[in-house]
Structure 1
Amino acid sequence: MKNALITGATKGMGRAITIALAKQGINVAICSRNAHELEAFKAELHEIAPQIKVVTAVADCSIKAELINFAEFTEKNMGFVGIIVNNVGMYRHLPILEDDENSFEKQVNTNLMPAYELYRFFGKKMVSAGEGHIFNICSVASLQPIAVAGVYSVTKYALLGLNKVMKLEMEPHGVKVTAIIPGSTYTDSWKGMEVDPNQMVLPEDIAEAITMILNMSVGANVDEMIIKPAGGQL
């Protein structure tokens, strides 16, 4: 049975991805800053897939020490982690010149640092095993910056760059790396705005893409996948 670690797993895309992996019979390790949300989701996952193991830990992924504690706790309770989904992220709808003083550090520590640190923690073990798959949830802002979300665009550009470096390092060792690049997706990032879910990508679309990629043959990899609303970006 495979083991997966998903960051930012209790809401939005992370939640949909975790449910999809659970339905595939994959053990999942999840964390959240909210213990109540975490326990409720754990119970839901056991109803969906009673046979899987669900490892949970209260942690803020933007704090390196808590992230590493979560990684260590996961490995101790699961063993080899062969799937990592770097999903945790935050979006701020502000140009750089109007943004808060601490916004750059906060968004780097949320949108970029967890993927880097988890790669450092699990990467050599994947190399030794000769298998594994890392998914980095990027954004169309990784390809074309969004002027009204300046720091977010910078961090998502960097995440796609990190994905490319990971892929080059891992290719000789049988470890797969995939960048998922969603456009306008119906998540909490749109809270407070009037939007039509039928005109957007749904979290379940992202989850289905990941399970489809995981189920490909051992010799195949999707380097990057762009998923946009059919009618164009909102």
Structure 2
Amino acid sequence: MKNALITAATKGIGRAVSIAFAKQGINLSICSRNAEDLSNFKKELQDINPQITVITSVTDCSKRDELKYFAAFTEKKLGFVDIIVNNVGMYKHVTILNDSEDSFQKQIDTNLLPAYELYRFFGKSMVSVGKGHIFNICSVAAINPVVEAGVYSVTKYALLGLNKVMRLEMQGHGVKVTAVIPGSTLTDSWNGIEVDKNTMVLPEDVASAIVNILNMSAGANVDEVVIKPAPGQI
């Protein structure tokens, strides 16, 4: 059985990927900032597939010490981690000039730091055995910046850049790295805004793409996958 670590797993894309992985028979290490959400979701995942191991950790991924604890906890409990899904992120709809003083650091710590630190933690063990797959959940804002979400766009550009470096660093060692680049996706980021789900990407669409990529042959790597709403961005 393969082992996967997924950040911010109880909602949105992280939740959909966790469910899809459970159906694939993949053991899971998941985190969230909310203990009750984690407990309830663990039970749901084990109901979906009683054969898998599910471990949980209450973790604020924007805090380096908590993130490193989650990584070490995962390795201790599950052993080798085959799959990492860097899903945690925050979206702030504000221009750079009108943003708060602490916004830049907070979004760097949430949208970029976790992928960097988890790569540093697990990368060498993946190289040593010549396998593994890292998925970085980016955004179309990393391709076409959203000026009304200035710092968010900058951090997602940085995450896509990190993904490119990781992929080149790993490609000679049998380790795959994929940037998943969704457009307008129906997650909690849209809470309070009236939207039509039939005009949006669903978290399950992203999860389906990840599972299909994961199940490709050993010789195939999807560098980047862009998933946009069929009618265009909202």
Q: TM-score range by the shorter chain?
A: over 0.9
Q: Which aligned segments of 4 or more residues in structure 1 are displaced greater than 4 angstroms?
A: none
Alignment of 1:138-217 (within 5 A): 138-217=138-217
Task: Provide the C-alpha distance between the structure 2 equivalents of 1:65 and 1:49, rounded to a whole number of angstroms.
Answer: 31
> What amino acid sits opposite 1:178 in the alignment?
T
Measure how far apart 1:79 and its partner are. 0.1
Q: Determine what percentage of the aligned residue pairs are the same residue.
A: 72
Measure how far apart 1:156 and its partner are. 0.1
Task: Provide the C-alpha distance between the structure 2 equivalents of 1:197 and 1:101, rounded to a whole number of angstroms.
Answer: 34
Q: Which residue of 2 aligns with 1:17?
A: 17
1:44-74 deviation digits (Å, cap 9, x = unpaired): 0000010000010111000000000000000
Q: Which residue of 2 aligns with 1:7?
A: 7
Alignment of 1:80-159 (within 5 A): 80-159=80-159
> What amino acid sits opposite 1:185 in the alignment?
T
* Structure 1 unaligned residues grouped into runs of 5+: none
Task: Provide the C-alpha distance between the structure 2 equivalents of 1:137 and 1:32, rounded to a whole number of angstroms.
Answer: 16
Task: Provide the C-alpha distance between the structure 2 equivalents of 1:105 and 1:161, rounded to a whole number of angstroms.
Answer: 18
Task: Provide the C-alpha distance between the structure 2 equivalents of 1:135 and 1:66, rounded to a whole number of angstroms.
Answer: 21
Q: Which residue of 2 aligns with 1:72?
A: 72
Task: Provide the C-alpha distance between the structure 2 equivalents of 1:101 and 1:2, rounded to a whole number of angstroms.
Answer: 42
Measure how far apart 1:157 and its partner are. 0.1
1:125-175 deviation digits (Å, cap 9, x = unpaired): 000010000000000001011000000000000000000000000000000
Task: Provide the C-alpha distance between the structure 2 equivalents of 1:102 and 1:195, rounded to a whole number of angstroms.
Answer: 30
Q: Which residue of 2 aligns with 1:224?
A: 224
Measure how far apart 1:6 and its partner are. 0.3
Task: Provide the C-alpha distance between the structure 2 equivalents of 1:200 and 1:31, rounded to a whole number of angstroms.
Answer: 26
> What amino acid sits opposite 2:40 in the alignment?
A
> What amino acid sits opposite 2:193 in the alignment?
M
Measure how far apart 1:192 and its partner are. 0.8
**Equivalent position SS for 1:106:** helix
**Equivalent position SS for 1:209:** helix
Task: Provide the C-alpha distance between the structure 2 equivalents of 1:225 and 1:32, rounded to a whole number of angstroms.
Answer: 25
Q: CA RMSD of the aligned region, Å?
A: 0.4
Measure how far apart 1:34 and its partner are. 0.6
Measure how far apart 1:7 and its partner are. 0.4
Task: Provide the C-alpha distance between the structure 2 equivalents of 1:59 and 1:203, rounded to a whole number of angstroms.
Answer: 22
Measure how far apart 1:81 and its partner are. 0.2
The normalised TM-score by structure 1 is 1.00
> What amino acid sits opposite 1:201 in the alignment?
V
Task: Provide the C-alpha distance between the structure 2 equivalents of 1:195 and 1:106, rounded to a whole number of angstroms.
Answer: 27
* Structure 2 unaligned residues grouped into runs of 5+: none
Q: Which residue of 2 aligns with 1:233?
A: 233
